[in-house]
C-alpha cells in the first residue's frame, strides 16, 4: 500500500463513536424542529412556501444553508488544496452569480409567482406545455444536484465510521436519502427552512474555527500559509498562479470559460434557490434575503480559501488524493490534522448536516414542481381536492429520493469531484431555465413556442453534450488514483472535448428562444404581459395570486 494511502487510512480511524454521536445529535435536534414545524402545515402555501412568513434575515440564512452545499465545503476546499488558484475560481463563480440573481430575478420572481418557477414562465403562455417543460427542467437540475450531494455523503462515510468499501458508502447514501425524505414529508418548506438555518450557522461557525486554527498554525501570517502550500504542492505545479487545472491546453482554457458561464448564470435559474424567494412576505424581504445571503456566502468562501490552502500545506495533495473521497476529503483530513478526533467528528458532522439540508431543499422543490405544475395544473387543470396536491408532492418526494439514492451510489463509485458535479447542475439551470425566465420578464413579444424551444433545446443540448463529454467516458487516467475521473471507467464514446457544456448550450438556448418566437404564428398576449410587468415591478396582485 502506498504511503499516501496508509496515511489516509490512519486519518479515517479517529473515533467512530464520537463522529456518530455528533451527527446523531444534529439529526435528533433537526428532526424535533421538523416535527414541531409540521404542526403549522395546513395548506399548500404552508407546505410549499412556509406560509410566506419567513423574515428576510431568516431567509438569507436559509438561502446560504441551501446554497452552501457539500460542493462548497468539501469540493472547493479540496480543489484549492490540490490545484490552488484554479480551485478558488469555483468560489468566485458561485459568489458573483448572486449579483445576477439580485439584480434580475429575486424581487421580480417573488412578486409574480405562487410556489414554483413555472408560475412565472406560464403566466402569459399556454399553461400545459410550459408548465410541463418547466417541471422537466426542474427535475433534471434537482437530480444533478442531488447526485453531487449523495456522492459527497458516501465519500464521507469512511471518515465518519473508519470503514472502507462500496457497501458501507452505499449504506450511508441510503441513510441520507431516508432522512431527506423524512424532513420533506413531515416538515415541508417550514421544517426545511429551519434545518437550513441551523446548518448554515453551524457550517459558517465550523469554517471560522478551522480558518483561525489554520492561521494560528502559521502565526497568522498569510504569506507563510501560502508558502507552505507551495512547498507541499505536486511537483511542478504552481498553486498560486492560474493554469494548474485550467490552462495546460487551449481546450482546458475554453473549459474554464464554459465553467465560469455556467456558474455565474446558473444560480439565477436554480429552482430550489428561486423557490426560497416565495417564502418571504414582501419584495423588500426578498431583496434583503439576497443581500444577507451574499454577505454570508462571501465570508464563507474567504474561509474556504484559507481552509483549502491550509489542507494543501498541512495535509498535502498526495495524501488528500489517496484518501477515500479523494479531493472531497481535504477539509475532514485537515480537521483531523488540527484537532484530532473531536474536530474531525465536528467537521464531518457539519458536512453531513450540509448535505442533509441541501438535499431536503432540492427534494421539496422537485416534488412541488411535479405536484403543482404537472399534477394540479396540467393533469387536473386546477380541480384538485383539498390537500390532494400536497399528498402528490409527498409521494413524488419519495420517488425522487429513491432515484437520487441510486444515482448517488453510481457517482460515488466513480469518485467524481462533487464541486464539478454541481457545476453541471448549474449548466443545466443556466441552459434550460435562465433564458426563458429573462425573456418572460423582459421581452413582451416572447411566445409559448419560444419558451418551449428555449427550455427543451437548452436542456437537451446540455444533457447530450454532458453524456458525450469526458465527464461520462474517455477522460485520461489520474496517476494519483489509478482511475479515470469519468463516470464509466472502461469505455470511451466521448466526442465533445469540454467537461462543462455551458459555452455551447447557454447561447444556444437564448438563440432558440428568440428563433422560436420570431417563427411563431402565435400572437403574444400583450394584456397579460402588461399585468406581469406591473405585478413583477410593484408586487400589486401578488397577494391575490397566493390566496387563490
DSSP annotation of 372: I
d(C-alpha 158, C-alpha 169), whole Å: 7
First to last CA, the chain: 65
Please tell me whether residue 483 adopts helix, strand or coil conformation.
strand
Residue that has been written with the C-alpha cell 448564470 in this structure: 265
Q: What are the C-alpha distances in Å from 396 to residues 80, 118, 434? A: 37, 17, 25
d(C-alpha 109, C-alpha 369), whole Å: 15
d(C-alpha 485, C-alpha 462), whole Å: 20
| Closest by CA position to 43, among listed 29, 57, 33, 53 | 53
Please tell me whether residue 487 adopts helix, strand or coil conformation.
coil
Report, as an integer, the average pLDDT of 528-538.
80
d(C-alpha 46, C-alpha 33), whole Å: 16
Q: List pLDDT tens digits, range 317-346.
A: 888 887 766 777 888 889 888 888 888 888
d(C-alpha 34, C-alpha 27), whole Å: 10
d(C-alpha 137, C-alpha 370), whole Å: 11
Q: List pLDDT tens digits, range 347-392.
A: 877 877 777 777 888 888 888 888 888 888 888 777 777 677 788 8
| Cβ atoms within 10 Å, residue 352 | 26
Residue pair 349/19 in contact by the 8 Å Cβ criterion:
yes
Please tell me whether residue 496 adopts helix, strand or coil conformation.
coil
Please tell me whether residue 443 adopts helix, strand or coil conformation.
coil
d(C-alpha 170, C-alpha 421), whole Å: 18
Report, as an integer, the average pLDDT of 88-114.
80
Cell of 526: 400583450
As a whole number of Å, the CA-based R_g of the chain is 22
Cell of 256: 474554464
Burial 12-45 (b: 16+ CB within 10 A, else e): bebebebbeebbeebbeebbebbeebbebbeebb
pLDDT of residue 453: 95
d(C-alpha 533, C-alpha 391), whole Å: 33
d(C-alpha 246, C-alpha 295), whole Å: 28
| Cβ atoms within 10 Å, residue 270 | 28
List CB contacts of 231: < 8 A, sequence separation 6 or more: 313
Residue that has been written with the C-alpha cell 424581504 in this structure: 285
pLDDT of residue 110: 78
Residue that has been written with the C-alpha cell 478526533 in this structure: 341
Please tell me the least confidently modeled range out of 112-116, 196-200, 254-258. Answer: 112-116
| Cβ atoms within 10 Å, residue 3 | 10
Among 87-91, 218-222, 380-384, 525-529, top mean pLDDT goes to 218-222
β-bridge mates for residue 483, sequence order: 478
d(C-alpha 267, C-alpha 468), whole Å: 24
Q: What are the C-alpha distances in Å from 372 to residues 4, 35, 387, 388? A: 51, 23, 12, 10
Report, as an integer, the average pLDDT of 404-413.
76
Distance between alpha carbon 172 and the CA centroid of its chain, in Å? 19
Residue pair 494/409 in contact by the 8 Å Cβ criterion:
no
Q: List pLDDT tens digits, range 444-460.
A: 888 999 999 999 999 99
Residue that has been written with the C-alpha cell 439576497 in this structure: 290
Domains of the chain in start order, with CATH, are 55-419 (1.20.1730.10)
Q: List pLDDT tens digits, range 186-212.
A: 777 788 888 888 888 988 998 999 999
The burial of 544, by beta-carbon neighbours within 10 Å (0-12 exposed, 13-18 middle, 19 or more buried), is given as exposed
The burial of 182, by beta-carbon neighbours within 10 Å (0-12 exposed, 13-18 middle, 19 or more buried), is given as buried
Element (H, E) at 170: helix 166-217
Whole-structure pTM value:
0.81
β-bridge mates for residue 381, sequence order: none
pLDDT of residue 382: 72
β-bridge mates for residue 478, sequence order: 483
Amino acid at each position: 500500500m502506498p504511503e499516501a494511502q496508509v496515511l489516509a487510512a490512519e486519518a479515517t480511524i479517529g473515533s467512530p463513536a464520537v463522529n456518530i454521536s455528533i451527527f446523531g445529535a444534529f439529526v435528533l435536534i433537526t428532526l424535533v424542529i421538523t416535527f414541531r414545524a409540521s404542526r403549522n402545515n395546513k395548506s399548500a402555501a404552508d407546505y410549499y412556501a412556509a406560509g410566506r412568513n419567513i423574515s428576510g434575515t431568516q431567509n438569507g440564512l436559509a438561502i446560504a444553508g441551501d446554497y452552501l452545499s457539500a460542493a462548497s465545503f468539501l469540493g472547493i476546499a479540496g480543489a484549492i488544496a490540490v490545484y490552488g488558484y484554479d480551485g478558488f475560481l469555483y468560489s468566485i463563480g458561485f459568489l458573483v452569480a448572486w449579483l445576477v440573481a439580485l439584480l434580475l430575478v429575486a424581487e421580480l420572481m417573488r412578486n409574480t409567482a405562487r410556489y414554483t418557477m413555472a408560475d412565472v414562465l406560464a403566466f402569459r403562455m399556454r399553461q400545459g406545455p410550459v408548465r410541463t417543460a418547466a417541471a422537466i427542467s426542474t427535475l433534471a437540475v434537482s437530480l444533478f444536484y442531488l447526485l453531487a450531494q449523495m456522492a459527497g455523503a458516501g465519500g464521507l462515510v469512511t471518515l465518519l465510521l473508519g470503514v472502507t468499501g462500496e457497501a458501507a458508502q452505499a449504506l450511508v447514501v441510503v441513510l441520507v436519502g431516508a432522512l431527506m425524505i423524512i424532513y420533506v414529508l413531515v416538515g415541508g418548506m417550514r421544517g426545511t427552512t429551519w434545518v437550513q438555518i441551523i446548518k448554515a450557522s453551524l457550517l459558517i461557525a465550523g469554517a471560522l474555527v478551522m480558518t483561525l486554527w489554520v492561521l494560528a498554525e502559521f502565526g497568522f501570517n498569510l504569506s507563510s500559509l501560502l508558502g507552505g502550500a507551495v512547498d507541499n504542492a505536486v511537483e511542478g505545479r504552481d498553486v498560486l498562479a492560474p493554469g494548474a487545472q485550467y490552462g495546460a491546453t487551449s481546450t482546458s482554457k475554453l473549459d474554464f470559460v464554459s465553467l465560469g458561464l455556467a456558474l455565474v448564470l446558473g444560480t439565477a435559474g436554480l429552482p430550489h434557490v428561486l423557490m426560497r424567494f416565495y417564502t418571504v412576505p414582501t419584495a423588500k424581504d426578498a431583496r434583503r434575503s439576497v443581500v444577507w445571503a451574499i454577505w454570508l456566502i462571501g465570508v464563507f468562501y474567504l474561509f474556504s480559501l484559507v481552509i483549502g490552502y491550509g489542507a494543501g500545506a498541512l495535509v498535502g495533495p498526495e495524501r488528500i488524493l489517496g484518501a477515500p473521497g479523494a479531493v472531497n476529503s481535504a477539509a475532514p483530513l485537515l480537521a483531523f490534522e488540527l484537532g484530532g478526533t473531536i474536530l474531525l467528528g465536528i467537521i464531518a458532522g457539519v458536512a453531513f448536516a450540509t448535505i442533509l439540508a441541501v438535499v431536503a431543499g432540492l427534494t421539496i422543490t422537485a416534488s412541488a414542481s411535479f405536484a403543482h405544475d404537472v399534477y394540479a395544473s396540467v393533469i387536473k387543470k386546477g380541480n384538485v381536492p383539498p390537500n390532494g396536491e400536497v399528498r402528490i408532492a409527498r409521494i413524488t418526494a419519495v420517488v425522487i429520493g429513491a432515484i437520487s439514492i441510486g444515482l448517488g451510489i453510481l457517482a460515488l463509485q466513480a469518485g467524481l469531484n462533487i464541486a464539478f458535479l454541481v457545476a453541471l447542475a448549474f449548466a443545466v439551470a443556466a441552459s434550460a431555465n435562465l433564458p426563458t425566465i429573462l425573456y418572460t420578464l423582459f421581452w413582451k413579444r416572447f411566445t409559448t413556442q419560444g419558451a418551449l424551444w428555449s427550455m427543451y433545446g437548452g436542456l437537451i443540448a446540455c444533457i447530450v453534450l454532458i453524456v458525450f463529454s469526458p465527464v461520462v467516458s474517455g477522460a485520461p487516467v489520474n496517476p494519483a488514483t489509478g482511475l479515470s475521473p469519468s463516470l464509466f471507467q472502461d469505455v470511451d464514446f466521448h466526442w465533445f472535448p469540454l467537461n462543462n457544456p455551458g459555452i455551447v448550450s447557454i447561447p444556444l438556448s437564448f438563440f432558440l428562444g428568440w428563433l422560436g418566437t420570431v417563427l411563431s404564428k402565435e400572437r403574444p398576449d400583450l394584456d397579460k404581459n402588461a399585468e406581469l410587468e406591473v405585478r413583477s415591478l410593484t408586487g400589486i396582485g401578488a397577494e391575490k395570486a397566493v390566496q387563490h
